[in-house]
Chains A and B, each alone.
Chain A
Amino acid sequence: MEEADIRAYVAAAANAQGLALGADQLEPVVAVFTRTAAIAAPLLEFDLPEDTEPAPVFRP
């Protein structure tokens, strides 16, 4: 995502969730979201088999 896209997404998604951010609150959240997007990128590229399901608790 381009920086401008991230800023637009953060502002819109926050509004949609009732978390509207003031002008001085937006930038630090954009910075965190930018880092999060960078961390997510390789995971989204990974070739994860389609039949892999979430399963949080170990059952023996």
Chain B
Amino acid sequence: MNALAIAAAVREGRLRAVEAVGEALARINRHDGTVNAFVRHRGEQALREAAALDAARARGEPLPPLAGVPFAVKDNFDLRGEVTTAGSRVNLGRTPAAADALVVQRLRAAGAIPVGATNMDAYAYGFTTENSDFGATFNPRDLARTAGGSSGGSAAAVAAGMVPLALGTDTNGSVRVPAALCGVFGLKPTYGRLPRSGTFAFVHGLDHLGCFARGVADLTACYDAMQGGDASDPACDPRAAQPAGAQLALGVQGLRLARLGGYFEQWADDSGARGLRLAEKHLGELPVAQVPHTELARASAFLITAAEGGALHGRTVRAHYDRFEPHSRDRFLAGALTPAAWYLRAQRFRSWFRHQLEGLFEQFDVLLAPATPVTATLLGQERMDVNGIALPLRPSMGLLTQPISFAGLPVAVAPVAGPGQAPSGVQIIAAPWREDLCLRVAAHLENAAVASAPIAEGFA
């Protein structure tokens, strides 16, 4: 069942919250040995919380909009009383979290119940969720392939039907890449929209929170429940919530759509661009918008990530060098050595690049682009080929997502799969604070059966 259907059934007394949560836990027990999406479950606690919700209903209390909906969080969101590992065993000795992450508190206030923490690339630095401490997460749509990353456990848990909703973080593409590769819907809101308080920071200047679901209505309900500024995150804008749920039915009506050309064509092969091609077949041929110097935006995002991530975590990595994730430890250490002049140039270029995009949004409301250069790659694969150019796979899977998060723009990912084909994600990009437009276009593609995220075959 999807999240809103569960909540409606619980509110109306057709389903008890303990049954909804119990079903999620049973699916996790049945399937997680195959997928390895979770690093921890909170089965008993989750069932107790569900029972409290059922008792509240029995007393005649009104239930909130996501009552009884089980959800998962990437293991860089704090869960009260648990140790947040951020995907590394070097954190196992840390003090348990005193409180839930703020967005988890908000989802709980909406009646949703966290059932566990999911696997990720260590410290969110990676695009494949091949974690040397907790094992790789396997893509439920093809177990030989990666789930994408760094929020791969969350995307895989949703794709395998273990939970209807999951949270992730996205610094350079870590929600959008796994959403595309696992074939689920994902949302990365505007930089500064959601308060990151109680989450494990990687790159303060680029970290975003986001979410995954198998349908746009669920995705939007999850996003709406998390909205609202908070002073505890200094990069969070103080604006009040701007719920998008009521806008979904408007679809693409009145919207000026375009697809991004140039760089965004160059760095997607046939499989990566397939989703966009099928979307365009339905939407009609779209005008092509060009963003100048996108390659420098990617370079700048790379430098800011290296410098801030290295400055924040370099000493920890150095202190635990032999135990720290080999896929990223050298990147953290090299990042800590980035000259300040390079870093600041990247930050200044961010303003310049944003200004170019602002101009584009005078002509267009929504921009479409492929989410990944290629569809899901094999676990253990080191290199990939994009239109004849060989690239190191792990840092390159975010080539198409990095420039967009660098500009802070809101993006929804719609998964598109032809019959028997791997899912291919479409980025649906809007002007700052216009998540509603991203979600409207995603809902339109879903309603037209162009985009869909059924539970993966064999996991029903």
Contact = CB atoms under 8 A, between A and B. Distances in A.
B190 interface: yes
B347 A54 contact: yes
Contact of B235 (A46, A54, A57): A57
Contacts of B303: 36, 39-40, 43
A22 to B, nearest CB: 8
B300 interface: yes
Nearest to A21: B333
Interface in B382-425: 408
Contacts of A60: 432-433
A19 B408 contact: no
A46 B331 contact: no
B342 A40 contact: yes
Contact of A49 (B295, B334, B344, B352): B352
Nearest to B295: A42
Interface in B347-401: 347-352, 354
B302 A48 contact: no
B352 A43 contact: no
Contacts of B306: 36
B191 A48 contact: no
A54 B351 CA distance: 6
Interface string B301-334: 0110010000000110010010000000011011
A4 to B, nearest CB: 16
Interface in A19-33: 19, 21, 25, 28-33
Interface string A1-41: 00000000110011001110100010011111100100110
Interface residues of A, number: 33
B19 interface: no
Given A43-B346, A52-B352, A55-B351, A17 B191 contact: no
B352 A10 contact: no
Contacts of A53: 348, 351
Sorting the interface of chain B by its residue count into under 10, 10 to 19, 20 to 34 or 35 or more gives 35 or more
Contacts, number: 104
Contact of A28 (B237, B330, B347): B330
Which of the listed residues B296, B299, B306 has the most CB atoms from chain A within 10 Å of its own CB? Answer: B299
B191 A29 contact: no
Which of the listed residues A17, A29, A43 has the most CB atoms from chain B within 10 Å of its own CB? Answer: A43
Given A18-B315, A48-B352, A36 B302 contact: yes
A58 B190 contact: yes
A19 B351 contact: no
A43 to B, nearest CB: 5
B56 to A, nearest CB: 39
Contacts of A9: 337
Contacts of A39: 299, 302-303
A53 B321 CA distance: 36
A39 B335 CA distance: 13
B352 A58 contact: no
B345 interface: yes
B336 interface: yes
Interface of B: 190-192, 205, 235, 237, 293, 295-296, 299-300, 302-303, 306, 314-315, 318, 321, 330-331, 333-338, 342, 344-352, 354, 408, 432-433
6 nearest interchain CB pairs? A54-B347, A32-B334, A58-B432, A28-B330, A13-B337, A33-B334
14 contacts: A17-B336, A18-B315, A18-B318, A25-B321, A29-B333, A32-B331, A39-B303, A43-B303, A43-B346, A48-B345, A52-B349, A56-B235, A57-B237, A60-B432
